[in-house]
Structure 1
Amino acid sequence: MHVVPRFRATAVVAAAALLMAGCATGPGLAKTNSPRRTVQAGADANTTDPSTKPSAQAGKPVDPAFAAERLRLINPCALIEKDLLQTVGTPSKYTSSSYTRCSNYMKDKGGKTLNFTLDIGYSLTSTEVKNATKQIASLKSGEQKLSATSCFIWVVTQESPAQAVRIQVGTSSDGSEACEPGRKVLEGVVRKLKGNPQKYSPPKGSPVEVDPCTIVEKAALSPVLGASPRSLEFGLHQCSWTGQSAQMQIEFKTARIPKDGKFDEKSVETDLGGGVKGYQAFKDGPFPTCELVVVRTKDQSDAGEIAEFIVAASKEKELDRCQAAQAFAKAVLPALPQA
């Protein structure tokens, strides 16, 4: 039996309760076993080198098992179950901070530090795409060893835009080889992904399955960005658009829901109509930004899911960023799953 925790810091008592329950998951995202960030201004998260010749169709995964609509529902903690981690050491508690990330801070077979953090639907940079010159489980693979004790390893699951399943490995400072156990675990992760991994069973109103890039109509973007904004997806739950010295972004994520709605110390409650409240925070600077958070689900322990709308623009651009963020949210919210 293993424990997959909530998507937030979990108290010892709650962890014990989850252990009794078996495999629990993030806010209201119960298990099933069915078949089968901030504004990224100028980021090259999904760009690839022009000389790269994709072996898969644009927008299509290299294998149906890695399709975005499938990955959005897969619990990453279930991909590094104890049966897999026990092949390289002694697993500990699972922690997760997002839909697509899971960590286990464990020990190797010699009792020394061996930590894993798994990301699915990870957006590759052009450099990471170029460096995917190896193979794991018949997929293109790349490695980046930051030090003797830290290693990132990824397998390419989609080439355009470039996405991967990535694992970060950390070991103790005695010179332990960090990449070797990572390769072994990542190979097991790919095997599980191609099988029947545990999936979330989303509560009503959950946005976990929504493609953020396709849910937004151009009409919601054009007042701020003009007629031809450029879209950039980042991961499986975030999308941004740029144009005319401005940027707009939507992201779905897990969060602890503060009882006072203060997601940020600058948060101000705003009425979005239909009984829906948003919590906006304006942040000044070289690229003034308004962030608007709307709660989509919340459980009894205040763990939940949110939709975050961001509007940012260069300082010289005349724009009420928070008013634009409200209009953005009002245009998108009716298309999201309703509680």
Structure 2
Amino acid sequence: MQPLRPDEPRQLGPYRLIAALGEGGMGRVLLGIAPDGRLVAVKQVHAQFAHDPGFRERFRREVATSRLVSGAYTAAVMDADPEAETPWLASVFVTGPSLKEAVDTAGPLPVNALRHLATGLAAALLDIHRAGLIHRDLKPSNVLLTDDGPRVIDFGIARAVEDGQELTGTGAIIGSPAFMSPEQAGTAPVTPASDVFSFGALLVMAATGRGPFTGTTTAQTLYNVVHSQPDLGALPPDVRRFVEPCLAKNPAHRPTPAQLLDFLGHLPPGTTPWPEAVHARIHRQDAEVRAVLSLPLPQWRPPPKPRPAKKRRRWIWAVSAAVLAVALVAGTVTVYRLAQSAKAARDAPPPLSIQDALTPERLLRADPCKVLDSEYTPEERPSYTYRCQYTGTKNVAFDLVLGDALQTTGIRTSPTVIDGQGVLLNDISGGCEAMVRLPTRPGSSVMIYNSSRDGDPCAIAETALTEALKRLRDPVVDRQTQPGSLLPVDPCTVLDDATAQKIAGSAVKAAPQALRRCEWATQDTLSVTLDRGYPDTEGAEVDLGGISARQNKTGSTCTLSWTHLPSGDRESDNVRLSYYSATGDNACEKANEAAKAVIPKLPKP
């Protein structure tokens, strides 16, 4: 913590500034006090970026989105002014060193602390992704360690600078090379799975003091990220088991934050998350803040009133002419549409019962971006085949998720019943999840997540869920697929339990993990995923009886992946089969045996 420079402002908006916390490539972070006495961290963008209209627009858009993120493990955005002479953003100030500072001074974290760190980071990513954001720069300096757990910072404007040419030189990339994903280092689209890769790299650094891809130069580090397998030899076995899949080169092979939380389980209450040396550092920072607050504070000044907007000229005649033109053709268009609607009603198949609409077979056929009606606008290019984000009235954002594993923590029963289906609610991040169980799979659900905190979030989510269940009964939401596509296939049906038991050597039973992933687990774990995405190009090429597959062996896990059916736009229907051996033996032999049992059960392309 440093005193303010003589040329720095003593106030931004309603916040009195009292000290400098740090500086990065995009702005300077200052300690401020809100009018109600709360401490805030104010990031003021460097002046050179303020003159770029494109940057301001991206900053404005991302500030609005980032305000939706609020969780136990993020520092929530409180205020921002993208129209200021130099734009700024204020978030909740939390006391604690960054993960980088903690590891540099106290050394690698022990296993219990790593579990606290992993659970907090996975929960933070879940909140960030549900708000429609991708962090894109999850690194040790962007994670603070507080007395009760980690806090992820700097998620509010990460995407705002994605296309900003002034932020980087020619050929430069945005992100931190040692912790970015292969997609960021290359040219592939960046999805929420990119943050999961960074999560894995960050956990390796926290456990060993060194990133898994760090080279002697930046170019060598980037090459390692894209082409080399991570160095995980020093990881404790319990940590390695959940970190390894996060570092898969193919984004489709990485777990989601929800799956990570499910794997990590509950933390014991009342435990101290960090080593004593880290808590001592937190207490020293507390003392520094109290010392700064004891000094005379800058005089508070009300923020200036916003300038009145300029009156726009009204093009009355042009608008009138356009309205008249529309009116002239409206009658013809209406008659045509009525005729088409009548024909469609005659030809449409009858709606399904609610029980049939909630079977895995039905949900696998449904396109999640068709399930809500025209009142809600779906995203243009969804990242997942089983979920879609919608924007409703007043820019309320919904996530519709089909067939995902039901998270039981924090769930309560709603008095609402939809078509005989009881509704479950989960208040999360100030918003609300509303869901119904699948009748044949009580551990899975159809869920609406409403991230808005306006009004009654659960009532709004229940309204959208009612519409979704109604539409799922109508075949009009069916996805158009090619003959032989994997998308309508339930992954739990491509391997019978008897065959899985023969391969694993012990009794196992199919357990759906998500709509498109199934698992057979005892001491060993066999999983099969059938989904659409970019094919895996990493790993050794192996032959599976006439099918060319990619084989990756990482520690005790062997993964086979192959393209089943090209689907255009560089994507394809892909099979991914992983085998984890508890003894570390024969993982690839077991994976090959399972793959040869699965292939005959797949549809013919």
Tell me how far apart the structure 1 counterparts of residues 604 and 459 of structure 2 sit (CA, whole Å): 45
Tell me how far apart the structure 2 counterparts of residues 116 and 155 of structure 1 sit (CA, whole Å): 16
TM-score, normalised via structure 1 length: 0.68
Which one of 438, 447, 452 corresponds to residue 166 of structure 1? 447
1:323 counterpart = 2:589: yes
Aligned residue type for 2:553: F
Secondary structure of the 2:493 match is: coil
Aligned residue type for 1:268: A
Question: Which residue matches 2:540?
Answer: 268
Aligned residue type for 2:533: A
Q: Is the 8 A contact 1:76 1:100 kept in 2?
A: yes
User: 1:173-322 counterparts in 2 under 5 A?
Assistant: 177-218=456-497, 220-243=499-522, 245-257=523-535, 261-262=537-538, 267-274=539-546, 276-284=547-555, 288-314=556-582, 317-322=583-588
Q: CA deviation at 1:78?
A: 0.6
Q: Structure 2: which 5+ residue stretches go unaligned? A: 1-187, 191-253, 264-352
Tell me how far apart the structure 2 counterparts of residues 157 and 217 of structure 1 sit (CA, whole Å): 22
Aligned residue type for 1:121: G
Question: Which residue matches 1:151?
Answer: 432
* Higher share of residues assigned helix: 2
**Alignment CA distance shift 1:42-1:307 (3 Å):** same
TM-score, normalised via structure 2 length: 0.40
Q: Is the 8 A contact 2:354 2:469 kept in 1?
A: no
Q: Deviations over 1:14-33 (max 9, x none)?
A: xxxxxxxxxxxxxxxxxxxx
Q: Is the 8 A contact 1:211 1:236 kept in 2?
A: yes
Q: CA deviation at 1:289?
A: 1.2
Alignment identity in percent?
Answer: 21
User: 1:28-47 counterparts in 2 under 5 A?
Assistant: 38=255
Aligned residue type for 1:282: K
Q: CA deviation at 1:278?
A: 0.9
Moved over 6 A (4+): 39-42
**Alignment CA distance shift 1:42-1:152 (3 Å):** closer
* Higher share of residues assigned strand: 1
**Alignment CA distance shift 1:107-1:120 (3 Å):** closer
Q: Structure 1: which 5+ residue stretches go unaligned? A: 1-7, 11-36, 45-60, 86-90
Q: Deviations over 1:279-300 (max 9, x none)?
A: 122222xxx2112111112134
Tell me how far apart the structure 1 counterparts of residues 516 and 585 of structure 2 sit (CA, whole Å): 26
Aligned residue type for 2:593: A
Secondary structure of the 2:495 match is: coil
Q: CA deviation at 1:179?
A: 2.8
Aligned residue type for 2:514: G
Q: CA deviation at 1:115?
A: 1.5
Root mean square deviation of aligned Cα: 3.0
**Alignment CA distance shift 1:92-1:202 (3 Å):** closer
Question: Which residue matches 1:16?
Answer: none
Aligned residue type for 1:135: T
Tell me how far apart the structure 1 counterparts of residues 498 and 436 of structure 2 sit (CA, whole Å): 37
Aligned residue type for 1:142: L
Q: Deviations over 1:118-166 (max 9, x none)?
A: 11122224557x6334324242111112232x32111223265333210
Secondary structure of the 2:439 match is: strand
Tell me how far apart the structure 1 counterparts of residues 428 and 415 of structure 2 sit (CA, whole Å): 18
Aligned residue type for 1:294: W
Higher relative contact order (CA 8 A, sep 6+): 1
**Alignment CA distance shift 1:156-1:223 (3 Å):** closer
Q: CA deviation at 1:218?
A: 4.1
Query: Which structure is larger by alpha-carbon Rg, 1 or 2?
Result: 2
Q: CA deviation at 1:176?
A: 5.7
Q: CA deviation at 1:229?
A: 1.2
Tell me how far apart the structure 2 counterparts of residues 169 and 182 of structure 1 sit (CA, whole Å): 5
User: 1:5-44 counterparts in 2 under 5 A?
Assistant: 38=255
**Alignment CA distance shift 1:176-1:256 (3 Å):** farther
Tell me how far apart the structure 2 counterparts of residues 320 and 95 of structure 1 sit (CA, whole Å): 40
